[in-house]
Chain A
């Protein structure tokens, strides 16, 4: 069961990778990289259960947080043109 889920993850990962490489706008690509991060989070969790070591689950949580922070940072740079300080 975990193996089938892993294969499904890998397949959707390939589809997202195609979207990253061929994506038209930067937003497409940012969204695709964010989705790839989500796939990787699921992949870590599934790999942990597949190899009978679900202790690695907390790393998946760290990944989810980092993925979120990275995407927010990129989009904030897009919307305000800077990270944090006031625009002059």
Chain B
């Protein structure tokens, strides 16, 4: 138990160090690389918290795909970067205030893994006990996502699909006004 605590504390410290390095960096590509490193450490954190499926998603989406998407977007930016002249006091204050409120709220959360917390009492026992008979697949997470909460997953898919279609429409309008060779290159990225 104490080793778990040490591992978690170490990972949080590493994430904090990467976060501070992210704040201090002024190069765009280094920001992207650091974000990828942050996602990798966060995924390791999820594994120590026993959320293996979340860790899988974090590793493939957070560290893999989003890094490459950022880089693909960066290929369209000019090489020289301008100095940021906006004031950073108000955003920093907002972030610190929001973080403080969240930490304050976290004291009211039930203990991690506590069986009597509402999350584990409401409908989860039905899912765990009935998953094999109702759905017939051994993985409970999959049966909740795809069957018990199938409509929720369907809604999420529709949201993501709508966002993708919207981006495609925006890119298409943009290319109609520009030249033909621009059109071809943007199609490939999208």
A contacts, CB < 8 Å to B = 3, 6, 10, 13-14, 17, 20-21, 26, 29-30, 33, 36-37, 40, 43-44, 47, 50, 56, 59, 62-63, 66-67, 69-70, 73-74, 77, 81-86, 88
Contacts and interface: CB of A to CB of B under 8 A. Distances in A.
Give the 8 A-B CB pairs with smallest separation, nearest first: A66-B64, A82-B75, A85-B185, A33-B37, A21-B21, A73-B68, A83-B72, A70-B67
Interface of B: 3, 7, 10, 14, 17-18, 21, 27, 29-30, 32-34, 36-37, 40-41, 43-44, 47-48, 52, 55-56, 59-60, 63-64, 67-68, 71-72, 74-75, 181, 184-185, 188-189
A81 B75 contact: yes
Where chain A touches its partner, the secondary structure class is: helix
A43 B45 CA distance: 11
Given A36-B37, A88-B181, A62 B59 contact: yes
Interface centre among A56, A83, A86 (most CB of B within 10 A): A83
A3 B59 CA distance: 24
Contact of B71 (A13, A21, A33, A83): A83
Given A20-B37, A70-B68, 9 more contacts: A13-B14, A20-B34, A26-B30, A33-B33, A63-B59, A67-B40, A69-B64, A70-B36, A77-B71
Nearest to B27: A26
Contacts of A84: 72, 188-189
B29 A37 contact: no
